[in-house]
Structures are given as structure tokens and as C-alpha cells.
Structure 1
């Protein structure tokens, strides 16, 4: 199970009331929500290995170089390239890091890469090694591109909440978006664009048109070749839109596609049956008022590894 950690803790922060506080008054709604999410997911799926995948770089230089508008609207400080994060969430992120360490749950990031790339890389390694199924947990549609029935990779989409998660496989992608594979979803997303990530897409080509064109021509490269060929049966309007977006379409795939080769060391990602230092975990839970959430995670770990 690969957790898109930031996606989970941001959603926890916004989804759990900030009336949940530690004994010293510190708001711990994101910590509580994150831990409860992990407990629920581990109980539901029973993974033997779990990795919390981290954003060491939320806006990597290689993506900004390709498309300067990438996440530009979410930059809090242009000088340091830091992300806008709610003030009450900032002090909770180190607590989530500490909780994962005390629970013995593997956490990893890669300098110069996003959590999406960590997930993409670990998924690629798992598939290459034939080590079994992969559950990718995220509230980010970008990772739908990893869904692969043959490789037994599913995306557990928590956009509507962890308890309302949707199991994204190729049939789900076909029913929802009219695309037949994870890579085709990425190409559709390239054409459609994503304002939340600062990706403009191709003007005048929305989701349905994009998926229809990709099904008709088979791939983005074939579609672009048709746009460049006056003899193709593309409509003049669609040809014009695609040709005018040539620079964007040249750069965007490197931004939209998750990296399969981020520099990640070999990991000890086995889910422990019990925390490595029970007393330290109890002290942490009491200090921050998250005893029940920590207890639920420990129970889920024990059950999954039994």
C-alpha cells in the first residue's frame, strides 16, 4: 500500500473539525484524521507492506522548467518556492512524521521529486519484481494513470473521503472517463488540462472531446500527427486548436506523467505487527491527545500481519 501522504493529511485537515486539540491546546485535527485514515485503510485492505510517500519537493524544477505555470498559483513565497499551507496545519506535519516513525511505518521521499513520483517509482519496481498487488491511496486524480489490471495495480481514490473510497481500475476509468488504460488517462489529462495544477490544456478541448479523440486515434502522438497532416480527417477547428497548442503538448507529458525512476533506496517497508517502541508511542499519543487514533492504527497493524 502506497500512501500519498500529503493528499491524506490535507484532506484530514479540511475534513476533521479543528476543535480536536492536544492537552496544550495545539490543533491536531490533521494528525487525528491521518491516523484514522491509515487505520481504516490497513483494516480494509490488510497490506503486508506500507509506505507513506512524501513530497520532498512539491513543485520540482524539471516540471516548472517544462511548464512555468505548474502550481504557480499555490506558491506562498516565490523566493523560497514554498507552498501555501494553512497556519494550523504547518505544526501538525512534523507530528505526523513522528507518529509514522514511532509506529514503524516506512516513510520516504526523493529530493527533486513529488510524492506522485515516489509512488510511480515504487509501483514500477513492484511490478517489475512481480511481488504482488499494489494499492495506491490518493485524493489526486493524477495517479489514475497508474491503474493497470494486468499488473494488479489499483488506485484507491479518496476524493470523497476515505470511507467513500472508489476502487479505480481500467473498467472504472472506461466508465468514468471513456479511456481504456492508465496511460490513456494521462494523455487525456494532458489535453484537458488541470487548473488546480496550473496546466492550461488545449483550448476548447474538454474531457469528453479529449477521450473521444484518443480512442479514435489511439494515442496522443498519433493525434498530434493527424493534426499536422492536412489529409487527415480531423475537423479544421480541432486541427487548429491542436496545432496552436503544439508547444504545450510537447512539454506537458513530462509534467503530467509520474516518474518511474526517482532515486529511492531499497526500503524496509514491511508493516510491523507491533510498534518498535511501545512506551515512546504511548507517550506521544498522550502528549498530543490522539490515544484513540494511535490505538486504532496499532490494532489494524496487528490484524493485518497476523
Structure 2
């Protein structure tokens, strides 16, 4: 089984979930680094993958998405135009990259695309079961029972991760995964700058989607098919409804290098890993990661 991980989601979650008092021997914060490594170990033990690949953002807010929907992630833009993030996180992300490289766990991205698109492309390429590990609800669109793709959702934390197949998505949200993009567009998502359609919440969105076979049928339906309130709301959101589905839908064919995600029998660069362990005080989490990988490979 291939496990693909939303790396930015995991290091943000680790930064805020592990106390900032967790520091390297020289006093530098390493809470995100330790949380990320421990998170991988926990996920490996729980899911037992044979392959592991991390996906990163090489463009966290692609211009082509902004051109379609100017509000996309606007509230997360810092004064320098980059993604707003705590000052103490950036240097830790560099350490995470170094640790993954030294261990032999690939992390890949694609210019002009987000980690979500990388995850989608990796899942589309896979020829066996796939676990997509993320805390981003939009990735429920990737769930596909026939292709054996599940989303391992971190909404309640890494130790309480939930694996979603199509039935679980339907039970939680009232729609099939194939219609999750439509659901997200109607409902909206303030965390991504998606306003949604005024007055349409989760229950109404699910009801409308299940009334119509596809998106065009819903938005182009007879004006008499909806209540006056919904007719007005859809009409007022017409421009948004044209653009948003493309913004929300992940891309399944982004340019990616061929990558071997086989769990390593041993670190790719033991000396570099030892140096990183000593420099940043990572002996315990790296021992736990090694143990998780060894247990998984022994099964």
C-alpha cells in the first residue's frame, strides 16, 4: 500500500500541536520537526504502508487559481506575498526536508501546483491501494473505492486519524466522493477563501447535489425547480459558480518525477541523519520512526 502525506498540513499541525517549549540543545524550537517525525511514525504503525511519499507545495496559491477566484486564500497572504506562517516554522521546515532526504523518504512537488494536486496525481498513478493522509477536507474528492483510494483524515488529530472510503464520505457529508467538489463549492470554505452560496449550508448543499445528476444540471436547472430563496442565491453567485469548481478540483496530471517510495531498510545517508539528530536533538523521534518502519516491514 502506498501512503501519500500532505506534508505542509502535517508540519503546520505539528507546529501548533506540539508545545513550543520543545527545543534543540541550543534552544532553537523544534516542535514542528519532532511532531512531524512522530506523526509519520504513528501513521506508519497504524496504516502499515509498503511505500511512503510526502507531497509539498511548490506554489501554495497558484496564480491560475487566483485568476479564476481572486478571493482564493487571500486571508492567508502575508505582506511579502508569501503564505502567512509563524517565523519559527520556516527554519523547521528546512530541517524536516533534510531529515526526510537523509532517511530516504521522498518529498516531491510540482511548479505551479499545490500539494493537493501532487497528492491527486500520485493517487491517479498508483496501481494499488492508496492512503491519502491529510487534514484538508477538499481531498475527500479523491476517495475512490474502485481505485482503492482512501483518505486518512487528521481532523481530530494524528492519533485519531480516520480512514474514509466512499461509504464513510457519504455517511459524513451526504454526498458521494465524486460530487464532493460540488458540495464544497456550494457550502464554501472560509479557510480557502471560498465564499460558497449565500444561505446554502451543508444540509442544503447535499440535498441539492443529490437532486441532480451533475453540476450543470444543478446550476442550469429550471428556475421553477428551486425555492425563491435558492433561485436568488444561485443567480447572485453565478460568476462564482462558474469558476469555483475548477479551483476546488485537484489536478490529476501535474508533472512529477518518477519516485521510489519503498520504505527504506536503513537511512539513505546515516552520517547526515546522525548529524541532524545530534544538532537538533532528534534521537528519540528518529528511533520511534525507525522502529515503526522496521515493524511494518516485518509484517
Task: Give the TM interval when normalised to the shorter protein.
Answer: over 0.9
How much does 1:300 deviate?
A: 1.6
CA contact (8 A) 2:57 2:109 kept: yes
How much does 1:44 deviate?
A: 1.4
How much does 1:117 deviate?
A: 0.3
How much does 1:219 deviate?
A: 2.2
Which residues of 2 match residues 44-55 of structure 1 at below 5 A? 44-55=46-57
Q: Residue 6 of structure 1: which of 8, 11, 31 is its match?
A: 8
Please state whether the residue corresponding to 2:78 is helix, strand or coil: strand
Please state whether the residue corresponding to 1:20 is helix, strand or coil: coil
Distance in 2 separating the partners of 1:110 and 1:305: 30
Partner of residue 152, structure 2: 156
Partner of residue 173, structure 1: 169
2:203 counterpart of 1:208:
yes
CA contact (8 A) 1:16 1:29 kept: yes
2:117 counterpart of 1:121:
no
2:283 counterpart of 1:291:
yes
Distance in 1 separating the partners of 2:249 and 2:290: 35
Distance in 2 separating the partners of 1:194 and 1:174: 19
Write the deviation string for residues 221-277 of structure 1: whole angstroms up to 9, x where unpaired: 110121xx24x4222221221122111011001110001111112112222111112
Distance in 1 separating the partners of 2:75 and 2:278: 38
Which residues of 2 match residues 91-240 of structure 1 at below 5 A? 91-126=91-126, 131-179=127-175, 181-226=176-221, 229-230=222-223, 232-240=224-232
Distance in 2 separating the partners of 1:176 and 1:218: 20
How much does 1:170 deviate?
A: 1.4
Distance in 1 separating the partners of 2:101 and 2:275: 14
Distance in 1 separating the partners of 2:297 and 2:256: 25
How much does 1:283 deviate?
A: 1.8
Distance in 1 separating the partners of 2:65 and 2:43: 31
TM-score normalised according to structure 2 size: 0.96
How much does 1:112 deviate?
A: 0.5
Partner of residue 75, structure 1: 77
Write the deviation string for residues 79-105 of structure 1: whole angstroms up to 9, x where unpaired: x52011111112100000001001100
Partner of residue 243, structure 1: 235
Q: When the two structures are aligned, how many residues end up with a matched partner?
A: 296
CA contact (8 A) 1:4 1:52 kept: yes
What residue ranges of structure 1 are gaps of 5+ in the alignment?
A: none
Moved over 3 A (4+): none
Q: How well do the aligned residues superpose, as a CA RMSD in angstroms? A: 1.1
Distance in 2 separating the partners of 1:280 and 1:238: 60
Please state whether the residue corresponding to 2:133 is helix, strand or coil: strand
Distance in 2 separating the partners of 1:106 and 1:268: 8
Distance in 1 separating the partners of 2:296 and 2:68: 42
What residue ranges of structure 2 are gaps of 5+ in the alignment?
A: none
TM-score normalised according to structure 1 size: 0.94
Distance in 1 separating the partners of 2:83 and 2:272: 32
